Each structure stands twice: as C-alpha cells, then as structure tokens.
Amino acid sequence: MSTQSVDPAILKKAQEWLNPEFDAETRNEVKNLIEQNPKELTDAFYRSLEFGTGGLRGIMGAGTNRMNNYTVGMATQGLANYLLQQFKNLPEIRVAIATDSRNNSTKFSQTAAQILSANGIKVYLFDSLRPTPELSFAVRCFKCQSGIVITASHNPKEYNGYKVYWDDGGQVVPPHDKNIIAEVNKIQSVKEVKFKGNDNLIKTIGNEIDEMYINTLASLSLSPEINRKHSNLKIVYTALHGTGVKLVPMALKKFGFANVNSVKEQDVSDGNFPTIFSPNPEEASALKMALDLAQKIDAEIVMATDPDADRVGLGVKDDTGKFILLNGNQAATLLIYYLLFKWNEKGMIKGKEYIVKTIVTTDLLADIAKKFKVECHEVLTGFKYIAEIIRKLEGEKTFIGGGEESYGYLAGSFVRDKDAILSCALFAEIAAWAKEQNKSLYQLLIEIYVEFGLYKEHLISLTKKGKEGAEEIKAMMVNFRSNPPKTIGGSKVTLVHDYEMRITTNLQTGKTTPIEFPKSDVIQLITEDKTRISVRPSGTEPKIKFYFGVRGELKSVGEYKQVIAKLDEKIKGIVEELKIG
C-alpha cells in the first residue's frame, strides 16, 4: 500500500497535523507515517474517535483516530462547551478527574484539567491514580456536573481512553453523549482548544476521599458479625499493576478481613503491565500468578481487578480443592443471590426493590429476583444504562444490586458505575457467609443451580483490527440482520430482537413489536428451548462478540458435571452450526 493509494481526504487530514500548533514529537510521528507506513496512516486518520459504551478509547499515538493530547484536548474542549451551555445558570461548574496506571494517563488528566480550568470550570483532580468507581463517588461527593477518568479499562497496554460522567456519577447516556460529540465535531482546529489553564481553579484531592469512600462502602455490609468470626479467611488479591492496589486491601480490612495476601510483583502500578500479556481479569492468564500463590498458601478465594478497578475476576476451589475461575455470569449469580437472600432475611424487601442486568447477562438473575419478589430490569450492554435506571427510579424504588457478564457488579447507589473495590469486599463476605454454613462458594453456586436450573453461558470474541476489520464486522452484522437462522441447535428460532431497528420479530407469526430501548447494534435470537444467542460489535474494542446462553435442569448436586458437559456440547454444536470462530 503506497501513499498514492491513501484516500486524499485522509492524507489531507494527516498533513494538517504537520502544522506548528502540534508539538514536534507529534509532527515527526505523522511525517514518518506519511513517508513510511500508509496503512497505519489510514488507520490513524480515517475517522475520529467517538464515544461508545465506554466513552473515548483507542490506541495511543498521533492521529484523529488515536488517543493523544490533541484528541483528549478537543474532547475536553467539546465537553467544556457543552457544560457551559447546560449549566450556564450555576454560579460554579465542577468536574472531578481521576486517572489509572496506564502510560500517558497522568499527562492526559493534567491536559483535561488545564483545559477545563481555562474555560472557567472548577476541577477536582486526584493527586495520584484512583479507581474509576471512586471517581463516580467523587462526582457525587463534590456535587460536580461532570467527571472524567483517563483509562482504557482492561484493554491491552497500547490503549488508553477517556470516560465522561454526568452529575449523577454515571457515565454519559443519550442525549448527552451525542451532544458532547456534536460539540467536539464543531471544533475544526486544535487552535480552538484552550490549553493554558488557571491553576487557581484546580483543587487536588486524595486521602480524605479514600476514607469517605471506604466508609460508605462498608455501610453496605450485610453480615458484619460473620465477617468478624471469619476474619482469617485466606484471600489472595492482585491489582494487575492497576489502581486497586491501595483501596481493595483497605476495603477488605474495613469489612473485617485480616488475611489478605497480595501478589507483590503485580502491586507495582505500571502501564506496561510487565508480568501479564493483558490486564483483563476475564482472561485466565492474567490470574496465573495469583492462582499459583493461592495454591501455595492454600487460600480460599482469589480476586483480581483490572487497571481502573471497575471489574473483578474471581477464583474459587472446586470439590477437588483445585482453583477454578468463575465467569462474570456465575459471579453475578452469587452476588445477586446473596444480596436478595440477606435483604429478605432482614425483612428489608418491602415491594419497591429492584435489580438490573444487561441483555447479554444470564437470565438466572431474573429467576432469582422473581423468587424474592424483587423486580428485574433489563438494559442494553454498558453499565451506564444500569446507572440510568438507578437515576430514573431514584426516590421511587430501591436499587439493591446489578451486574453484567463482563465482570462488572454494583450494590447500593452511592456509586453509579461498576465497582470492583466494593465487589471484592462483598465476594469475601459471601465466602465467609458460605463458610459459616460449611460450604464453599463453588458448592453454593451449584446449590443455586439445583434450585433455579443450570444456566451455562459462553462468549466468543473475534478481533478485527483497523478500517478493514471495521468493515468486516459491519458486513457480519448485516448478514445476521437480513438472514437470521431458522433453527439453532435443533430448536426453532422463535424471536429475533433487533436493537438497531428497535423491533422484535416473531418468526412463527410474523408479528413485530417495538423495543423500548435506545438504538444499539445488537441482534438477539431466542429459540423454543430458551437458548439465547446475542451478536454485537464491541463499543470499545475492534471486536465482534457472540454470546451463547443455554439451560438445563439439575436435579441434584451430584449430577452437576454430567449436565454441564451436555450443555458444553450443545454450545459447541451451535458454534459449529453458525460457523463462528
């Protein structure tokens, strides 16, 4: 691929980055792309980064489609312009900013703080790296109108990102997300960005917020006396070089747990993530060092948080004493079951309580909620939609907890995003509660399956990088939308939920009904035997994801392995049938 083959519009956009308003390092990087790497040049400039389910996120480097000081600057100026419009009647507009351990995160957060303050906006800037959920808490604590956290969550080390929060402490949702982008798109040149800030409007915050946050989380403990009794529960925790390194041990201690063993090599906050291939607690390789330590010291539970500490991976012992990793649906099942059981036991369920799950998260959560006479709301993928429900129902109904299959969970409404700090403390509490009944977390999960049915989920993510990959993903979605299969796994497809068109089609009757959700590029197929297949492009990564959910009856604990094997075979057959992978 030569420069001559590059779209002239893309080349023109890249050449604009050779102008003096860009620093020398950026100009040199773009110059090298133009002269030596036209394919990478196209990927860097063929589009501008947009807010997806996780905000602004991309590979770091020069270009409109990259995370750098200028894309961060334009996003922040656009945000500032929007805040000044939306809150023009307030005497002071406030924004809190936090950052994770990734390379350039501190620089990007300082850039954002300077631009906001240059626009007359008060900034509360954390003194060092902090978890995403604490940023959400700070937005609410300081009565801010917005918040920013610089993070790419669990993405590989070359990524960084920029998540925007609204005045309720939740990530921006429609119409604010699109309106912010519209303001960003109005900025035609970085010359319009006010980079020179006002230090008098930037207030540094730190330990005092940590204490308030941890104390608030501790108020959500439902079994403090059991925690004290089992304070020596042997826990292994790893921060995976991220922001959980300080606050997870603090939270565990506050909840009453004294025997916390960290993976020392991974306590080091480092954006290169030197001990792991990927800082994603969904991947078994990320937890290897923690699992090795757990086996060595005979621990009872293993937990790992991603770089910005909003997701947590969980390891438990099976009936042979070997550690296995639970997936996000299984962990969410344990959490929701425990919360509802304890709320019911304490007489706290009054008829106005609810939980929330996403459309690709296990239906077992809805079954559990039904048993305890608690409403279950379903939302699009992305925790911001869970926060949106909490906001809508605030003052009318009580949020108990919620979760999504991608390892994000929340209890209570003090924070409005998934919270791995709280989740780690609660999972330790659930382990102590199970131990009090002479059970392990593994045994507790299987007993839940016996009561409600054995739900088995599986996820396949296909990575398709660059402009060509984006076009391939788009073509795959068009094919599923226009030619849905008639049968899956020998069972007729009865319903097709098209969240982009916002229509559900009954394939047996031909009848269509509207979907009362915002538009989202997701297709769901439901069969007669309640198998559920969901297909969606990731909003934060160059991936298309396939979610599989099947169910079987489990009559006794002893039949677990036999039934799970049958469900695994069923999923394998469906994957082959749909030619995925």
- Asked if residue 495 and residue 441 are part of one domain, the reply reads no
Sign of CA dihedral 223, 212, 302, 545: positive
Segment 412-425 shows an average pLDDT of 98
- Domain at 320, CATH number: 3.40.120.10
Q: Name the DSSP letter for residue 506.
A: E
- Asked whether residue 157 is domain-assigned, the answer is yes
The pLDDT of residue 2 is above 60: no
Using pLDDT thresholds of 50, 70 and 90, give the confidence band for residue 458. very high
* More confident position, 52 or 5: 5
% residues pLDDT > 90 (the chain): 88
What range defines the domain where residue 481 resides?
Answer: 454-577
**This model's pTM is above 0.75:** yes
Complete DSSP assignment for 254-267:
HHT---EEE-GGG-
Q: Name the DSSP letter for residue 558.
A: G
In the three-class reduction of DSSP (H, G, I as helix; E, B as strand; rest coil), residue 507 is classed as: coil
Tell me the C-alpha distance between 2 and 39, whole Å: 8
Tell me the C-alpha distance between 466 and 39, whole Å: 9
Question: What tens digit of pLDDT does each residue of 281-305 get?
Answer: 999 999 999 999 999 999 999 999 9
The pLDDT of residue 4 is above 80: no
Q: Is the peptide bond before 485 cis (omega within 30 degrees of 0)?
A: no
- Asked if residue 486 and residue 529 are part of one domain, the reply reads yes
Last residue of a domain, one of 157, 176, 210: 210
Tell me the C-alpha distance between 349 and 372, whole Å: 8
- Asked whether residue 127 is domain-assigned, the answer is yes
Using pLDDT thresholds of 50, 70 and 90, give the confidence band for residue 397. very high
Segment 22-39 shows an average pLDDT of 94
- Asked if residue 385 and residue 261 are part of one domain, the reply reads yes
**Strand pairing category for 353-358 and 375-379:** parallel
440 catalytic residue (yes or no): no
- pLDDT of 184 reads 83
Using pLDDT thresholds of 50, 70 and 90, give the confidence band for residue 1. very low
Overall domain count for the chain: 4
Segment 388-412 shows an average pLDDT of 97
Question: What tens digit of pLDDT does each residue of 124-178 get?
Answer: 999 999 999 999 999 999 999 999 999 998 888 999 999 999 999 999 988 898 8
Question: What tens digit of pLDDT does each residue of 519-564 get?
Answer: 899 999 999 998 999 999 987 678 999 999 999 999 999 999 999 9
- Asked if residue 447 and residue 458 are part of one domain, the reply reads no
- pLDDT of 244 reads 98
- Asked if residue 427 and residue 308 are part of one domain, the reply reads yes
Tell me the C-alpha distance between 295 and 297, whole Å: 6
- Domain at 536, CATH number: 3.30.310
The pLDDT of residue 51 is above 70: no
Last residue of a domain, one of 452, 485, 505: 452
| Residue 197: other Cβ atoms inside 10 A | 20
- 527: phi > 0 → left, psi -120 to 50 → alpha, else beta; which? beta
Using pLDDT thresholds of 50, 70 and 90, give the confidence band for residue 3. low
- Asked whether residue 176 is domain-assigned, the answer is yes
- pLDDT of 298 reads 97
The pLDDT of residue 53 is above 60: no
- Asked if residue 543 and residue 439 are part of one domain, the reply reads no
- Asked if residue 483 and residue 436 are part of one domain, the reply reads no
Angle at 356 between CA 353 and CA 362, to 5 degrees: 125
The pLDDT of residue 438 is above 60: yes
Question: What tens digit of pLDDT does each residue of 173-195 get?
Answer: 888 988 888 888 888 889 999 99
In the three-class reduction of DSSP (H, G, I as helix; E, B as strand; rest coil), residue 315 is classed as: strand
- Asked if residue 493 and residue 420 are part of one domain, the reply reads no
- Asked if residue 394 and residue 423 are part of one domain, the reply reads yes
In the three-class reduction of DSSP (H, G, I as helix; E, B as strand; rest coil), residue 530 is classed as: coil
Tell me the C-alpha distance between 363 and 520, whole Å: 20
- Asked whether residue 53 is domain-assigned, the answer is no
In the three-class reduction of DSSP (H, G, I as helix; E, B as strand; rest coil), residue 491 is classed as: strand
- Asked if residue 459 and residue 355 are part of one domain, the reply reads no
Using pLDDT thresholds of 50, 70 and 90, give the confidence band for residue 67. very high
* More confident position, 51 or 118: 118
Question: What tens digit of pLDDT does each residue of 79-126 get?
Answer: 999 999 999 999 999 999 999 999 999 999 999 999 999 999 999 999
- Asked if residue 87 and residue 12 are part of one domain, the reply reads no
% residues pLDDT > 70 (the chain): 98
Of the listed 48, 101, 117, 153, which one is catalytic? 153
- Asked whether residue 222 is domain-assigned, the answer is no
* More confident position, 435 or 466: 435
- Asked whether residue 116 is domain-assigned, the answer is yes
Using pLDDT thresholds of 50, 70 and 90, give the confidence band for residue 466. confident
- Asked whether residue 217 is domain-assigned, the answer is no
Are residues 152 and 102 in contact, defined by beta-carbon separation less than 8 angstroms? Answer: yes
Segment 359-386 shows an average pLDDT of 96
Rounded to a whole number, what is the distance in angstroms from the first to the last CA of the chain? 28
Among 146, 175, 142, which residue's Cα sits nearest to residue 162?
A: 146
24-44 burial, b if ≥16 CB within 10 A, otherwise e?
eebbebbeebbeeebebbbbb
Average pLDDT, the chain: 95
- pLDDT of 422 reads 98
- pLDDT of 581 reads 66
- Asked if residue 309 and residue 299 are part of one domain, the reply reads yes
- Asked whether residue 389 is domain-assigned, the answer is yes
Among 205, 43, 66, 61, which residue's Cα sits nearest to residue 137?
A: 205
Question: What tens digit of pLDDT does each residue of 212-263 get?
Answer: 999 999 999 999 999 999 999 999 999 999 999 999 999 999 999 999 999 9
* More confident position, 184 or 324: 324
- pLDDT of 118 reads 98
- pLDDT of 52 reads 58
Segment 419-426 shows an average pLDDT of 98
Last residue of a domain, one of 452, 472, 491: 452
Among 123, 29, 15, which residue's Cα sits nearest to residue 69?
A: 29
* More confident position, 428 or 507: 428
